[in-house]
A and B are shown apart, each in its own frame.
Chain A
Amino acid sequence: MLPNRSDMQKAPIYKMTPTMKIKNQMIQELKTCVSMENVTISYGKQEAVKNIFCDFPNGEVTALIGPSGCGKSTVLRAINRMNDLIDGCTLTGRVLFDGVDLYKPEIDPVEVRRRIGMVFQQPNPFPKSIFENIAFGARVNGYKGNMHDLVEKSLKQAAVWDECKDKLNESGYSLSGGQQQRLCIARTIAIQPDVILMDEPCSALDPISTLKIEETIHELKKQFTIVIVTHNMQQALRVSDKTAFFNAETKKGESGKVGYLVEFNNTEDIFNSPTQKSTQDYVSGRFG
């Protein structure tokens, strides 16, 4: 069983007083939400990313950046065990969520995905009505409240309510690509996971919707931990507290490229004073 975060979150974890020293240990742990310890992910025999060590802080936004094909999506999908669905995809190392190894045999991947939601790189609404697109996930997670309120609230948070409110009973595919993506964001918000993983959620959006989504992300991080993949440096700067820069290199004697984590730090530091030259090159746009 996964520890129940919602109980823990009720404790005022950030307002420490010196008298709360006993709790200190627990709080230290709580500051890290998801942590990767020496994670290597392979598709078949081909390694995609190698030896990742990374701690995603609780209640903050972490951005994953890096050139195409360096394994950002792969890392992201490892966090909610989405890679389990791909034949031949294997993972070594540990992915800890609140200190629990998500890849232990007794962990149920379905439970993991209910706690760690995901917005995919390509919009993938269900071929159902817009309303049902959101209600389905909520129902699967055992939501008992007023479904109409939830649908409206989620669509508003995802900045797509105006476009949807008159056609809730039409197919999710009657929306434009960008609207579909926001519908998918709404769907993920609606199930209220502890962590939200977003794989380039704004890549198909116009600047105005993008800004709206970014506002939503700011709003959401009060409630959730967010990990976001983005190719947009400005976006990483605007929304994230921490940034992880990935790169890929060709290993000697191997055919494909293997991704690895170059640098992980506060976003400001990554953009203003990176320690690695490749990071510097990438964030300043001097990258092939």
Chain B
Amino acid sequence: MRGIPVSESETGSFSQRKRSSSEKLLDKSFKAVAISLAATVAFVLFGIFLVVFSGSLESIGRYGTEFLFTSEWNPVTDKYGAFTAIYGTLVTSLLSLLIAVPLGIGTAIFITEDIIPEKARYLIGLMVELLAAIPSVVLGLWAIFIMEPFLRPFFVFLNNNYSWLPFFNTEPLGPGMAPAIIILVIMILPIITSIARDSLNQVPIKLREAAYGVGATRWTAIFNVILPAAISGIAGGVLLALGRAMGETMAVTMIIGNSNNFSWSFFSPGNTIAAMLANQFGEADGSQVSSLMFAALILMTLTLLVNIFAQWMVKKLSLKY
């Protein structure tokens, strides 16, 4: 291959004006390797989807959309409906998000602004990140033995005073959706906080200066300029956390009660799709396997939808600067 002609005198002390063919080959092979690795990821994902889908075909054929809206789950009579688990998945993940988002973003603001000395901020940031390092089975144990008994008086208070709300109308007796929500908050808080902190740190200094330069107070600067500039990154982190909350298995299954009897109440034992899969796959046979596969398909679809929504939202919210 002929490149741009280079005169002898020009090459003089620059030996790399012309790229050697081996270097070009390296570039090309790197590209090929990258493409095949990326393709493997896509292939594995597609494969999983295919297996789950074909496994659930029987159940899909038998129940159709009815599966989504009935809550009977009975291996003896061989009747299955996943409504309890779907409700549990949605309620625990959305409510934990509702609590964790303000907490996480608030923490992130607190550790990126110079409200307290640098050292203290660093320490708080470190502790939040250490929270992410606790294995979920340990968190589950902690939830059973310490957190749930500790919070029970509060749950009882809600039950006593607001039992006219269907969400609070059963007596808190131990495992249930409410403690599962709290344990999920603890698990997704580090994700939201660290991603929000990174996005806030990415906001250019000159934008901060612009806000303070026109005489904005700290709160105006944060809520009208800095947060909006960081919102796309923060939204991405929140949706990542939502995905995590929907798929979390170990800690949730230890505290949620694993009951397929449907109840609106957060204090009664419930189930999530992930917890149900973990609990039942071992002993399942026959059409129960197919129904579990169907439930898994629903979980995958939900997570996929969340991710697509996340991409769309990030694109929509990004501010150009």
Judging by beta carbons under 8 Å apart, are A124 and B209 in contact? Answer: yes
Q: Which of A13-21, A109-117, A238-246, A254-262 contacts B (4 or more CB under 8 A)?
A: A109-117
* Chain A residues within 8 Å of B220, by CB: 140
Q: Which residues of A contact B132 (CB under 8 A)?
A: none
Q: Say if the beta carbon of B119 comes within 8 Å of chain A.
A: no
Is B216 an interface residue, CB under 8 A from the partner?
yes
In the complex, the answer to whether A114 meets B215 with C-beta atoms within 8 Å is yes
A106-126 residues at the B interface, CB under 8 angstroms: 110-111, 113-114, 117-118, 120, 122, 124-126
Q: Are A124 and B114 in contact (CB under 8 A)?
A: no
- Within the complex, the shortest CB–CB distance from B205 to chain A, in Å, comes to 8
Report yes or no: A113 in contact with B207, Cβ–Cβ below 8 A. Answer: no
Would you call A141 and B319 a contact (CB within 8 A)?
A: no
Query: Is A87 a contact partner of B118 (Cβ separation < 8 A)?
Result: yes
Q: How far is the CB of B315 from chain A (nearest CB, A)?
A: 15
The reply on B123 being an interface residue by CB < 8 A is no
* B19 sits at the interface (CB 8 A): no
Given contacts A110-B217, A124-B207, A140-B220, contact A82 B320 (CB under 8 A): no
With both chains docked as a complex, state the minimum distance between the C-beta of A242 and any C-beta of chain B, in angstroms. Answer: 24
Cβ contact within 8 Å between A140 and B215: yes
CB atoms of B229 and A127 under 8 A apart: yes
Say yes or no: is B228 at the interface (Cβ < 8 Å to chain A): yes
Residues A87 and B216 in contact, CB atoms below 8 Å apart: no
Pairwise interchain contact B213-A127, C-beta atoms closer than 8 A: no
- The reply to whether the CB of A43 lies closer than 8 angstroms to some CB of chain B is no
Q: Number of A interface residues at 8 Å Cβ cutoff, please give it.
A: 26
Q: In the bound complex, do residue A85 and residue B212 qualify as a contact, i.e. CB atoms below 8 Å apart?
A: yes
Tell me the residues in window 86-107 of chain B with beta carbons closer than 8 Å to chain A beta carbons. none
A191 on the B face (CB < 8 A): yes
Q: Are B211 and A126 in contact (CB under 8 A)?
A: yes
A187 & B320 in contact (Cβ 8 Å cutoff): no
A141–B214 touching, CB < 8 Å: yes
Q: Decide: A173 and B212 in contact? CB cutoff 8 A.
A: no
B207–A127 CB distance below 8 A:
yes
The distance from the CB of B117 to the nearest CB of chain A, in whole angstroms, is 10
Closest residue of chain A to B114 (Cβ to Cβ) is A87
A177, chain B: closest CB distance, angstroms: 13
- In the complex, what residue of chain A is closest to B215 when comparing beta carbons? A114
Which A84-117 residues have C-beta < 8 A from chain B?
85, 87, 110-111, 113-114, 117
Residues of A within 8 A of B114 (CB): 87
Whether the Cβ atoms of A127 and B319 lie closer than 8 Å is yes
Q: How far is the CB of A230 from chain B (nearest CB, A)?
A: 19
B207 touches A140 (CB 8 A): no
B321 CB-CB contact with A under 8 Å: yes
| A137-B319 in contact (CB<8A) | no
Contact A136 B229 (CB under 8 A): no
Report how far A122 CA is from B213 CA in the complex, Å: 13
Q: Is A179 an interface residue (CB 8 A)?
A: no
Separation of A191 and B214 alpha carbons in the complex (Å): 7
* B206 interface residue per 8 A CB criterion: yes
Q: Kindly state whether residue B225 has any CB partner on chain A within 8 Å.
A: yes
List chain A residues, Cβ under 8 A from B216: 110, 136-137, 140
Give Cα A173–Cα B207 distance, bound, in whole angstroms. Answer: 12
How far is B310's CA from A108's CA once the two chains are assembled, in angstroms? 41
Cross-interface CB contact of B213 among A87, A111, A120, A173, cutoff 8 Å:
A120
Asked if A126 contacts B207 (CB within 8 A), the reply is yes
- Complex contacts, A51 vs chain B, CB 8 Å: none
Closest to B211 in A: A126
Nearest residue (CB) in A for B220 is A140
In the complex, B224 has a CB within 8 A of chain A: yes
Closest Cβ neighbor of B319 among chain A residues: A127
Known: A122-B206, A124-B207. A136 touches B320 (CB 8 A): no
Quote the shortest CB–CB distance from B173 to chain A (angstroms). Answer: 52
* Bound complex: CA A141 to CA B114 (Å): 23
Check: B210 CB closer than 8 A to any chain A CB.
yes
CB A116 to nearest CB in B, in angstroms, measures 9
| A124:B214 contact, CB within 8 angstroms | no
Q: For residue A269, give the distance in angstroms from its CB to the closest CB of chain B.
A: 32
Contact across chains for B214 and A120 when beta carbons are under 8 A apart = no
**Contact between A120 and B209 (Cβ–Cβ < 8 Å)?**
yes
A47 to B209, CA, bound (A): 22
- Assess the B207–A117 pair: CB atoms within 8 A: no
The reply to whether A124 and B215 form a contact with Cβ atoms under 8 Å apart is no
Q: Give the docked Cα–Cα distance between A51 and B210 (Å).
A: 28
A117→B118 contact, CB < 8 A = no
Closest to A191 in B: B214
Closest partner residue, chain B, to A113 (CB atom): B215
Residue among A87, A110, A187 having the largest count of chain B Cβ atoms under 10 Å: A110
Complex Cα–Cα for A127 and B211 (A): 11
Residues of A within 8 A of B (CB): 80, 82, 85, 87, 110-111, 113-114, 117-118, 120, 122, 124-127, 136-137, 140-141, 171, 173, 184, 187-188, 191
Q: Other CB < 8 Å A-B pairs besides A127-B321, A137-B216, A191-B215, 11 of them?
A: A82-B213, A85-B212, A87-B114, A117-B214, A117-B215, A118-B213, A124-B206, A136-B216, A140-B217, A141-B214, A173-B321
Q: Can you report 18 A-B residue pairs in the complex whose CB atoms are below 8 A from each other?
A: A80-B213, A82-B209, A82-B213, A85-B205, A85-B212, A113-B213, A120-B210, A124-B204, A124-B207, A126-B207, A136-B224, A140-B214, A140-B215, A140-B220, A141-B215, A171-B319, A173-B320, A191-B214
Interface residues of B (CB under 8 A from A): 114, 118, 204-218, 220, 224-225, 228-229, 319-321
**Considering the complex of A and B, which 4 residue pairs feature the smallest CB-CB distances, nearest first?**
A137-B214, A114-B215, A127-B319, A124-B206
